[in-house]
Amino acid sequence: MMNSKKNAFYAQSGGVTAVINASACGVIETAAKSKKIDKVLCGENGILGALNENLIDTSKESKTTIAKLKNTPGGAFGSCRFKLQDPIKQKKEYERLFEVFAAHDIGFFFYNGGGDSQDTTFKVSEMAKKLKFPLQCIGIPKTVDNDLPYTDCSPGFGSVAKYVATSTLEAGLDVKSMAETSTKVFILEVMGRHAGWIAAASCLAASNQGDPPHIILLPEIPFEKNKFIARVKETVKKHGYCVIVASEGTKTKAGKFLADSGLTDAFGHKQLGGVAPVISSMISKIGLKNHWAVADYLQRSARHIASKTDLDQAYAVGAQAVKLAVAGKTAVMPVIKRLSDTPYKWQIGTAPLKNIANIEKSVPRKFISKDGFAVTSAGRRYLNPLIQGEAPTSFKHGMPEVALLKKSFVKKKLKKF
């Protein structure tokens, strides 16, 4: 009897998250139950794994290891920042891809990433159509930035939101207790170069009037130094301290990033980024002792304080991607649809991949207070459900237990690319 099963290709792309491996787990576990999918072969380092024929055979991993992916931050199979060339101008990369897919009997293509990555998924699907190559191409959404269109929220965001809100609450209590004789202002820099969703999520730290964060700086609102400094002074006068959460993408009216405001080191070399030290410098000038933190990768890898809602959604989009592919769909992406805020109800919908890279969802004005420094109740209503629920990881010897993959590579059948 002929084996009608085909292998599936799965890869991770772009900046990773605390829960992207939960999507991988959703793909692998669901594919294992499918009558149409044989093995899930994962590209090492995203699409590069396909180009270089570096394919990790997940059937060689134990079920326990695959389940542990849900507890493992980062991209377990390696991710990449690599854009395929334009298929019209330069077909070589695409031809190679299909050569690899043919050699390894791949009939399903799952690409787990943000807007740019889904543009790749779309281009692969177009090429498959053109070549009459039977390949179901499904995007799996992921980004901590929460800026993907068509989906109510992006898997990966809820966990960074929970991390940032928790850290704001905790550090807020710290600075509050120091403020009388020491640190009066604390600045936390978070990710978000173009959209301020992560900084906005810090609003969830506050449960009472006057609670931190006192000032949120978003890329959506032009930074005005005088207005900002006045608000810092006012806050310290009123509450004794001031907690600021700043998006890395905070910029002036002229569109100049604060982080690029020209720090130079002792050798006159331009110093890279960090909006927090720039703001700290401003605040030191008005004589207020301050401290600053830059969460950077800590925020997007903090699986230990992941949101259960986010983890569930990340798994669900992975699982649904397989179902869509098996049902013959292509050039689509499962998305999160919100059915209600309170109680929070969601389900999985489907969105087309076409044009996905051209739409970036920033924080709508109605979610931002009139003065630009806070989040409105409409914003809180949107954000709050996304951090609900805890998803504790297992610990061993005091440390989180993560999946240790064997990474058994499929035997190469082709020449080096």
Residues 42-61 that bind a copy of itself (CB under 8 A): 45-46, 48
Exactly one of 284, 347, 355, 377 binds a copy of itself (CB under 8 A); that residue is 284
Pick from 101, 110, 157, 186: which binds a copy of itself (CB under 8 A)?
186
414 contacts 53 by C-beta, under 8 angstroms: yes
CB of 19 to a copy of itself, least distance (A): 12
Q: Give me the sign of the Cα torsion angle 280, 282, 284, 286.
A: negative
305 or 410, CB closer to a copy of itself? 305
Among 400, 407, 409, 417, binds a copy of itself (CB under 8 A): 400
Contacts of residue 351, Cβ cutoff 8 Å, sequence gap at least 6: 149, 150, 151, 332, 333, 334, 335
Nearest distance, CB of residue 36 and a copy of itself, angstroms: 29
39-75 per-residue burial string, b: 16 or more CB within 10 A, e: under 16:
bbbbbbbbbbbbbbbbbbbbeebeeebbebbbbbbbb
**b/e per residue, 293-327, with b = 16+ CB within 10 A?**
ebbeeebbbbbbbbbbbbbbbbbbbbbbbbbbbbe
Q: Which of residues 199-258 bind a copy of itself (CB under 8 A)?
A: 204-205, 207
Residues in region 142-181 near a copy of itself by CB under 8 A: 162, 165-167, 169-178, 180-181
Binding test (CB under 8 A) with a copy of itself, winner from 292, 315, 367, 373: 292
Contact with a copy of itself (CB under 8 A): which of 64, 265, 287, 370? 265
Instruction: By CB under 8 A, name the one of 1, 399, 415, 416 that touches a copy of itself.
Output: 399
In the complex with a copy of itself, the residue whose CB is nearer, 181 or 209, is 181
Task: Rank residues 99 and 211 by Cβ distance to a copy of itself and give the closer one.
Answer: 211
Place of tokens 């405001």: 261
Binding status of residue 27 toward a copy of itself by CB under 8 A? no
- The answer to whether 119 and 47 are in contact (CB under 8 A) is no
Angle at 363 between CA 362 and CA 364, to 5 degrees: 105
The neighbour count for residue 237, using CB atoms within 10 Å, is: 9
Distances (CA, A) of 332 to 141, 222, 260, 349, 387: 10, 35, 38, 10, 27
Q: Is 261 in the site for a copy of itself (CB under 8 A)?
A: yes
Among 18, 28, 185, 332, indicate the residue that binds a copy of itself (CB under 8 A).
Answer: 18
Footprint on residues 98-127 left by a copy of itself (CB under 8 A): none
Contacts of 89 (CB under 8 A, 6+ apart): none
9, 10, 11, 16: residue in contact with a copy of itself (rule CB under 8 A): 16
Rounded to whole angstroms, the maximal C-alpha distance in the chain is: 80
Q: Which of 93, 300, 324, 335 touches a copy of itself (CB under 8 A)?
A: 300
Rounded CA separation 79/82 (Å)? 9
Complex with a copy of itself: residue 64 or 265, whichever CB lies closer? 265
Among 298, 359, 378, 414, binds a copy of itself (CB under 8 A): 298
Stretch that binds a copy of itself, among 88-96, 217-225, 327-335, 387-395 (CB under 8 A): 387-395
Residue 381 interacting with a copy of itself (CB under 8 A):
no
Which of the following is catalytic: 145, 152, 310, 312?
145
Could you tell me which of 117, 110, 172 has the C-alpha nearest to residue 145?
117
Give residue for tokens 């989009």: 317
Select the span of 85-93, 95-103, 279-287, 359-367 touching a copy of itself (CB under 8 A).
279-287
Q: What's the Cα-to-Cα distance from 247 to each of 168, 186, 203, 283, 290, rounded to whole Å?
A: 13, 14, 13, 17, 18
CB of 322 to a copy of itself, least distance (A): 22
C-alpha span between 75 and 77 (Å, rounded)? 5
Spacing of C-alpha 254 from chain mean position: 28
Whether 145 is a known active-site residue: answer yes
Residue 185 lies near a copy of itself (rule: CB under 8 A): no
Please state the closest distance from residue 114 (CB atom) to a copy of itself, in A: 14
CB under 8 A: which stretch of 90-98, 120-128, 273-281, 314-322 binds a copy of itself? 273-281
Residues serving a catalytic function are 145
